[in-house]
Structure 1
Amino acid sequence: MGCIHVLLFVAIFHIAVPVFAWKQYRIRRSIDLSASNPLIPDAKLPSDLVPVNYTLRIKLNAEQLSFSGAVNITMACTKRTNQINLHAHNNLQIDEVNLDVIQHLDDGETSLVKIRRVDRVPKKPLLVVYLQDDLTANGLYEARIHFKGMIWENTEGLFQGKYKQVNSDDMQQDRSYFATYFRPHHARRVFPCFDEPAYKVPFLVTIIRPKGYHTLFNTEAETTATVDDRYELDSFKITPPISTFALGFVVSELTLIQYDSDHTNVNPTVRIWAREEFHESLKDAETKIRSILAHLTNVWNVSYPLDKLDVVALPNFASVKPADNWGLVAFKENELLQGYYGITQELVYQWLGSWITPHWWSDAHVNKAVAGFLSASTAIELDNGAEFEGKWPMTILYSIYYEFSKRYPHSRITAMKQETTCSKTELVLRMLNYTLGEKTFRNGLREFIKHRKYKTFASNDIWEALTKQAHLDNRLCESATVNEIAGSWISKDRIPVVKVVRNYDKRTANVTQRLYLRERPHDVPEQDKMLWWIPLIVVSQDNLNFTNTSATKWMKNVREVTLEDLPNSNSLIIVNPEEIGPFPVNYDERNWNLLANYLLTSEGRTKVPVYTRAKLLHDAWNLAYAGDLSFATAFNMTLFMQHERNHLVWNPIFTLIDHIGRHIDMSKVHKKFEIYVRTLLTPLYEELVSHQQEKEAKWKINLRSLAKSFLCKAGYKPCIEEAQAVYKTWMNSSEPDLGNPVANQYICPVFKWGMMEEWEFGLQRVINFPESRLQSERTYLLKTLAGCPIQTSKINRLLNITVLEDNSNFTDNDISLIFKMLSGGSNGYMALFQFLKQNWEAIKLRFKGQEALWDNLINSATGLFTTQEGYDMVSQLYVQRQGEFGTAEHIIEKSLKNIKEETKWSDENLPVIEEWLDNFLKQYKPSNEKFIE
């Protein structure tokens, strides 16, 4: 054990440490205030002591799933203090008796510092050491602490993973590995430390592990020594300055994959580790990782910062995200089998995150956004966009539009807010890449990273570097800064809508911006005060150049500007083509009609790129839904879809059909809308079926599946007959409860359009569902039993058996799920409302003392009506049962308020929709032979 003692108490203050490691520590603010992570305590440690380096020893006890160790923390005192504050999780045991603090004197000697007491702060992960006398400013001190802790199964701190390994006798054996996951603030679960990203210092680490295992760490192993007949000790090279969250190790029996290519002399050394059976699956992994590293080296114009990279495929790794330690990245096995994007994101962090590090968690979100943007662009370049099938960034863009146009974005869900804020920042980076120019943008990032080796940064540093480069390249006027531009987007949980109203005689346009609200009522406080820096990129019909992405004019935090020198009155214009900026655009009616007519021509569909065609369609329908555009104009924009076959343009159509369909499905207009949908989708689907091939692109399979799903909902006979034929095999099974041989895609069409006998068979399968089968299968079956039928008889049967008969086969969670599914369409919530009205007393008695179920029922039965008829029904019930709603009183009052608002929408829009549909159906005369009426 002597070698351990020497390593542990090495004179660590002699380790070479850059002086900036503690002298440059300072409090910094970022514009990214709204993106700070509320899940991480904002209380920082006092800055009167800062770490200089660590010597850390950890011993694993695999049998007892525990660990023990010791840490020596050398600290510089920046101002007089009589206490040492460290992060230490409440589950971490500290040996307070053997805790020492020493002072390193100028002559190389040491002096023991007297300790008054040691405290653990209740409900906070803090360890406080109170001293008899003050520590002196500019002094160097060392805390020597022994600790113990548990190894957990959840991936926080130090955890255990389990898997099966096939041995030489083809028998499966249980195997374990032990790994760390310290991001963002879980190092404190394993050892006392300054667990904040800004503290970047070297670590000298030794790990004592069971024999038969090996250890991977941030740096290479220097020596391995035998401790006893059960344990070995690995000593590692000292790390560069590193944050605690980037520290990590994996102790396992996983083996190194040997590749045919010889990269022994290529820097960095890349090694990939996995269980033996998985080696063959990762035969292409090294090539993929090296191509990503080469690309990122070119992006940053800086070589990979370390001399090695270990990549580990962890079996049964339960974490949502990989463990991206510096020089050591642990993935789920299947993540290494996927495309470039996920792997690239973790490798970007080797530069931006580990080598240079966000100063505080608010800056980490900008860090993540840069990583996301670079990962997407890298993946697109390395595989020609095959991984995304062209969907980036539209998938996140449309979800951002939807979320930020609500009255209450994120529904006050913190985790959702973090993700959407990060996604929006990624879209802002994409906008800057276009408007500043790719060369300027990349050179700005290179300048940003160039002088920050081993340092920290605030998000403002990125914006400042981009500003300097943009000014140098004359891509941005001297009075403007990227900080202002980015700040106007990041600091608000909102996005703008831009309206362009042309003056055709003067060849100008008045452009205004305001808050984009899709959800009614539009009564968000202080919306008139919200302004953005918005780039106006304009393409006109006389020069359809979609490669020029420079802004014609910027809206510099102003309400309105004027565009000049526009084309003549017969030529269209497009503002914000290719979704360069994350904002929708509205036009005057004439320009919308010019766009609609142009897209009906083959020239228009050829010359207007895919993203722009999708944008025009998406903007028109969402603006109409929000009440900012006539539905007649929005429907006109869909006419070209009869000739459109690109999946990216079709994708938003399905969402919009669903939204509009749900909103109007209680009205008489709905049937006409359904015929319109059939007319739009049938040619697309039948063409995709007729050209179906054995091996075809994934997007084509998905597009055919979506079209089929929507046609099935609309009563497409070939689909219904196919579903019933497959379903019949289950009904004819001698033991139907042993398993479901029917694919999920067939069940809903049968329950919606099929016979009562078929639906009843499904109900019995739920009632008799064996405990041995996956409960998720039962849940899906129950969802479709409730959510798919349009016949009141089926819905009443389900409600009677679950609510009135109180069938023991159905739990309260089942009943809540049924209510939720019934609220998805007018057939469901209308039947639920009538059921409530007719069985009021019995239901009240049934749910006595079950406020959650009662509230859920009232919300689902009354909250979704959208017409005056629905308002009258709910209002009548409210008056009849005044004072009997109990805990749901506020719910029905809210329902009435919402229905009133939706009724206004229906009164304004349904006549317009109906008139347009009537004209459309007269012109196209669709056949209904293939559909169930």
Structure 2
Amino acid sequence: MCMSHSSNSSTNPDREVLPTNVKPTHYDLTLEPLFDSFTFDGEVAISLEVNETSNYVTLNSIEIEIHEASIDNKSIEKESIVFDKDEQTVTFKLDHDLVEKSTAVLKIKFTGELNNKMAGFYRSSYQENGETKYLATTQMEPTDCRRAFPSFDEPSLKATFTIALIADKDLVCLSNMDENSTESISDSKKKVVFNKTPLMSTYLVAFIVGDLKYVETNEFRIPIKVYATPGSEHLGEYSAKIAAKTLAFFEEKFDIPYPLPKCDMVAIHDFSAGAMENFGLITYRTVDLLLDEKKTNINTKQRVTEVVMHELAHQWFGNLVTMDFWDGLWLNEGFATWMSWYACDSLYPDWKVWESYVSDSLQHALSLDALRASHPIEVPVKRADEINQIFDAISYSKGSSLLKMISRWLGEDIFIKGVSNYLKKHKWGNTKTSDLWESLSDVSGKDVVKVMDIWTKNIGYPIINVEESGNDLTFTQNRFLATGDVKPEENKVLYPVFLGLKTKEGIDESLVLDTREKKVTLSNLDFFKVNGDSAGIYRTAYSPERWAKLGEAGVAGLLSVEDRVGLVADAGALASSGFTATTDFLSLVNSWSKESNYVVWDEILNRIAAIRAAFIFEDDEINTSLKLFTVDLLSPKLNSIGWEFKEDDTFAEQQLKSSLYGSALVAGHKEAEKYASEAFAKYVAGDKSAVHPNLRGSIFNYAAKSGDSKTFDELFNIYQNPESVEVKISALRSLGRFTQPDLLEKITGYLLQSDVIKQQDIYIPMQGLRASKEGMNYLWTWLQENWDKIYEILPPGLSMLGSVVTLATSGFTKRDQKQAIEDFFKTKDTKGFNQGLAQSLDVITAKINWSERDSKKVADWLSVNGYVSKNKL
């Protein structure tokens, strides 16, 4: 977003799947959305192969009213149609047997709800000249095709589809395939029939009806179009160009042509995820597809590029070859994530994305997987409502980090060759994770299956402790937990750890620690670092003396960017979990104030921000001192590069300026604050060029944090009348940064008003509220007071509910706060977000332990180093 039943039932007997007596081969589907009643009428004829003699057909269906049904033109009585709401199925009981090895056609006439849940066949609203307009679109992944039409809604039950849409003549109709014919069926209505699809899973079926315009590129051998509501289509030009380059790149790398006759990408105003890889008809949040290159900030540009590449990678990996069942989701998502970085690195080498990967994907993975309530990469999924919970940093980030580790072990070219072989062998079919490992083993001659099974089927990762004695290094592995309280029974798995030992001679990639401990002798120990270029999924702990030497090595230029980022991240994570003192971390980064790489700075500043977040409910003095330390640390670099942007600034220079400036503002850098106040005043007065796109988010946030009700109205006005979607999102996020009670009341009051804040966006101001104690308390109160309504509009089957619960709870740092959260949810049904809630409580526990253990020591260190005087800001 991103199955062979007989084997399914034997590998996971608890899995709730459809009976295997019949299987679908083709769907002939006609749908007509009705915007006046928010319903749709449908007819489907499903061609079936009969696997065993039986007198019933069961398929998935939910929130669909069936008017009539027949099998082989024999009518099925109403009372013989039985629904099971909990299992999300409908069973047609027949008065005769379907005979094994025969075929049958099941026809169904039905009506569904054109819902506002961003799931199945749903409606999306937008404003045009003050009028609310609608388009009808789909989101089937993971299990919502059953809301659009009765279907065999499991990834392994691939079939072909002939789709037809009935709509007003002036509306655009789109589906996975290109158009076959259009016929007029009345003065105002038309029927558009699309060509038959190749074999595909139901979760990739898509169709859209709406008033849409497009831009097209002919830079690839098939047409690529980007669609948007009228007036925004020109903002799709950038993504169309990216798509043309990316499709050509993947065709060459996979050695398999893009398999469909066209590729459409559509911006949708209401969208629960970031984008969805529907075969040939990819849907996106507007902010993840459309942009104005002259007015966009550098991070948005990179994000849009990567999202487009991610969805296009899925056209092969996921769509052409599909996981057998949802426990293989990580393979889809981890792979598309890795592949988008790989493509980005090849097509935009100056972005150096593998450097930012270490602070981005890898750290997301390591943070979530350090929680007791994490889950293995391969998760046994039993029910439909469990699936959304695994669309997380384990499936995407740990999955892609694992592939990065393997590609480094095997070599990138061999890795890609293995992937190409895998895709060719299984195209149009379904696979299990082991099928990819076997292809990689075949091409590399290494036992990939054995190594990867340990990494994918177990939760967590190790911390490698490095002890020095003479010229000997002893490496020991143990489970790493953010809470620092590993029990013996949680410490049994021994991972195959690629030590990647870096010395002045280079990196020794051959060393693997697959036992509890291992001894290695070096010719001298004046310089070494474990996990060269930070390609391995683990943390490394050194002696305090070695940390100091590594700090010097970083300053001396002996460490790559990836090494420096990994060191900072490890030092920060070890401090937060109690493996080392937080003061050791502060000493390390204190020596790196001359650092010139933005990725390293991002990691340093993120880790200092994490200390502040853990100590946010402590005495204000410690937080003030941490801000003083931050200003002192970054000022020399910021003062030398400034925050004015020039036409010829490189990607890296732009990133460094915006990153340092944003952190300086948060920490109270006086000149940065003065600049922000003046720039915001000019912006509000009408000079839109006064706020550079790269500083926009930081300046809006500062305006809110230091502002009053007048500022609130100004930002709210920007939100309601923005110059672009990107500006709208920045303004919305900043509205959570106010700290006055009446303004917090105002913004939390808007969270459930979908005419003010779209349901898909309610987490955005919540991110802002997380930045202050006041905001956090307000958000938690709001969640408790509005729980029933929140639960109703964000049903547990959708992943948004879990995000909202996590945002509203995981910022807390005290025992009584944790207890209050546990007490509140004790009486609630947590199905669909129980994993997120458990992870949130783990995060709070880690912060409780950290602040109780280290806040006094950190305060003393800051005091000794002179960061106490409040007037120093």
Bin of the TM-score, shorter chain as denominator length: 0.7 to 0.9
Cα 1:696–1:916 change in 2 (3 A) is same
Aligned length, in residue pairs: 775
Structure-2 separation of matches of 1:87 and 1:138:
23
Residue equivalent to 2:481: 517
Residue equivalent to 1:533: 496
- Cα displacement (A) at 1:491: 2.8
Residue equivalent to 1:6: none
Residue equivalent to 1:18: none
Residue equivalent to 2:529: 574
SS of 1:55's equivalent in the other structure is: strand
Structure-2 separation of matches of 1:812 and 1:248:
32
Aligned amino acid, residue 318 of structure 1: F
Structure-1 separation of matches of 2:538 and 2:677:
45
**Percent of aligned positions with the same letter in both sequences?**
18
Residue equivalent to 1:156: 119
SS of 2:739's equivalent in the other structure is: helix
Structure-2 separation of matches of 1:131 and 1:202:
25
Aligned amino acid, residue 641 of structure 1: W
Structure 1 residue aligned with 2:585, among 618, 634, 645? 634
Residue equivalent to 1:188: 146
Structure-2 separation of matches of 1:202 and 1:413:
27
Residues 712 and 743 of structure 2 are in contact (CA less than 8 Å); yes or no, is this contact kept in structure 1? no
Structure 2 residue aligned with 1:583, among 524, 527, 538? 538
Aligned amino acid, residue 43 of structure 1: E
- Cα displacement (A) at 1:231: 2.7
Cα 1:69–1:715 change in 2 (3 A) is closer
Mapped pair 1:343 → 2:337: no
Residue equivalent to 2:564: 613
Aligned amino acid, residue 519 of structure 1: T
The correspondence of residues 757-836 of structure 1 with structure 2, limited to 5 A, is 762=708, 783-785=737-739
Residue equivalent to 2:755: none
SS of 2:80's equivalent in the other structure is: strand
- Cα displacement (A) at 1:77: 2.0
The correspondence of residues 162-201 of structure 1 with structure 2, limited to 5 A, is 162-163=125-126, 176-201=134-159
Structure 2 residue aligned with 1:386, among 351, 375, 378? 351
- Cα displacement (A) at 1:368: 1.2
Aligned amino acid, residue 483 of structure 2: E
Deviation string 1:748-782 (CA, Å, 9 cap, x unpaired) is 98999xxxxxx8x9379889999999799899678
- Cα displacement (A) at 1:219: 2.6
Cα 1:258–1:582 change in 2 (3 A) is closer
Residue equivalent to 2:454: 488
Deviation string 1:147-183 (CA, Å, 9 cap, x unpaired) is 2223334432223445567xxxxx8987654333322
- Cα displacement (A) at 1:405: 2.7
Aligned amino acid, residue 295 of structure 1: F
- Cα displacement (A) at 1:78: 1.7
Structure-2 separation of matches of 1:669 and 1:59:
62
- Cα displacement (A) at 1:447: 1.3
Aligned amino acid, residue 323 of structure 2: P
Residues 116 and 131 of structure 1 are in contact (CA less than 8 Å); yes or no, is this contact kept in structure 2? no
Cα 1:230–1:525 change in 2 (3 A) is farther
Cα 1:456–1:592 change in 2 (3 A) is same
- Cα displacement (A) at 1:714: 5.6
Residue equivalent to 2:21: 48
Mapped pair 1:291 → 2:256: no
Cα 1:87–1:682 change in 2 (3 A) is same
Aligned amino acid, residue 648 of structure 1: V
Structure-2 separation of matches of 1:685 and 1:678:
10
Residue equivalent to 2:853: 905
SS of 1:204's equivalent in the other structure is: strand
Deviation string 1:281-334 (CA, Å, 9 cap, x unpaired) is 44455443221111111121111112x113143453534333432222233444
- Cα displacement (A) at 1:349: 1.8
Residues 213 and 253 of structure 1 are in contact (CA less than 8 Å); yes or no, is this contact kept in structure 2? yes
Question: Which runs of 5 or more residues in structure 2 are unaligned?
Answer: 292-300, 376-384, 686-694, 721-727, 753-762, 778-784, 789-804, 828-841
Deviation string 1:733-755 (CA, Å, 9 cap, x unpaired) is xxxxxxxxx99867998999xxx
Cα 1:216–1:618 change in 2 (3 A) is closer
Structure-1 separation of matches of 2:661 and 2:716:
32
Decide which structure has the larger Cα Rg and report it: 1
- Cα displacement (A) at 1:236: 3.2
The correspondence of residues 75-114 of structure 1 with structure 2, limited to 5 A, is 75-89=48-62, 91-96=63-68, 99-102=69-72
Mapped pair 1:132 → 2:85: no
Residues 138 and 208 of structure 2 are in contact (CA less than 8 Å); yes or no, is this contact kept in structure 1? yes
Deviation string 1:508-554 (CA, Å, 9 cap, x unpaired) is 3111111112335x15572222332211111113x1x3xx5x63222
Mapped pair 1:659 → 2:610: yes
Structure-2 separation of matches of 1:365 and 1:182:
18
Residues 322 and 332 of structure 1 are in contact (CA less than 8 Å); yes or no, is this contact kept in structure 2? yes
Question: Which runs of 5 or more residues in structure 1 are unaligned?
Answer: 1-21, 103-109, 166-170, 733-741, 753-758, 787-797, 833-848, 879-885
Aligned amino acid, residue 655 of structure 1: N
Cα 1:319–1:749 change in 2 (3 A) is closer
SS of 1:529's equivalent in the other structure is: coil
The correspondence of residues 348-427 of structure 1 with structure 2, limited to 5 A, is 348-386=313-351, 390-409=355-374, 418-422=391-395, 423-427=397-401
- Higher relative CO (Cα under 8 Å, sequence separation at least 6) belongs to 2
Deviation string 1:196-239 (CA, Å, 9 cap, x unpaired) is 11111222333333323343333333333332333333333322
The correspondence of residues 621-700 of structure 1 with structure 2, limited to 5 A, is 621-630=572-581, 633-661=584-612, 666=619, 676-689=629-642, 693=646, 696-697=649-650, 700=653
Cα 1:865–1:458 change in 2 (3 A) is closer
Aligned amino acid, residue 601 of structure 2: W
Mapped pair 1:595 → 2:564: no
Cα 1:824–1:523 change in 2 (3 A) is farther
Cα 1:451–1:25 change in 2 (3 A) is farther
Structure-2 separation of matches of 1:469 and 1:389:
24
Mapped pair 1:436 → 2:413: no
Residue equivalent to 1:224: 182
Structure 2 residue aligned with 1:74, among 37, 44, 47? 47
Residues 154 and 318 of structure 1 are in contact (CA less than 8 Å); yes or no, is this contact kept in structure 2? no
Structure-2 separation of matches of 1:714 and 1:186:
45
The correspondence of residues 238-387 of structure 1 with structure 2, limited to 5 A, is 238-255=196-213, 257=215, 267-274=221-228, 277-306=231-260, 308-314=261-267, 316-334=269-287, 335-337=289-291, 338=301, 339-386=304-351
Residues 120 and 128 of structure 1 are in contact (CA less than 8 Å); yes or no, is this contact kept in structure 2? yes
Aligned CA RMSD, in angstroms, stands at 5.1
Residue equivalent to 1:838: none
Structure-1 separation of matches of 2:860 and 2:156:
61
Residues 120 and 139 of structure 2 are in contact (CA less than 8 Å); yes or no, is this contact kept in structure 1? yes
Residue equivalent to 1:120: 83
SS of 2:399's equivalent in the other structure is: helix
Residues 222 and 263 of structure 2 are in contact (CA less than 8 Å); yes or no, is this contact kept in structure 1? no
SS of 2:155's equivalent in the other structure is: coil
Cα 1:200–1:851 change in 2 (3 A) is closer
- Normalising by structure 1, we get a TM-score of 0.71
Residue equivalent to 2:433: 459
Structure-2 separation of matches of 1:673 and 1:42:
50
Aligned amino acid, residue 423 of structure 2: I
Aligned amino acid, residue 377 of structure 1: Y
Structure-2 separation of matches of 1:731 and 1:255:
32
- Cα displacement (A) at 1:45: 0.4
Deviation string 1:649-702 (CA, Å, 9 cap, x unpaired) is 111211222333566764988787665444322212211228864664565455
Residue equivalent to 1:736: none
Between stretches 322-331 and 196-205, larger displacement belongs to 322-331
Between stretches 360-369 and 482-491, larger displacement belongs to 482-491
Structure-1 separation of matches of 2:167 and 2:751:
46
Between stretches 317-326 and 696-705, larger displacement belongs to 696-705
Structure 1 residue aligned with 2:516, among 559, 567, 570? 559
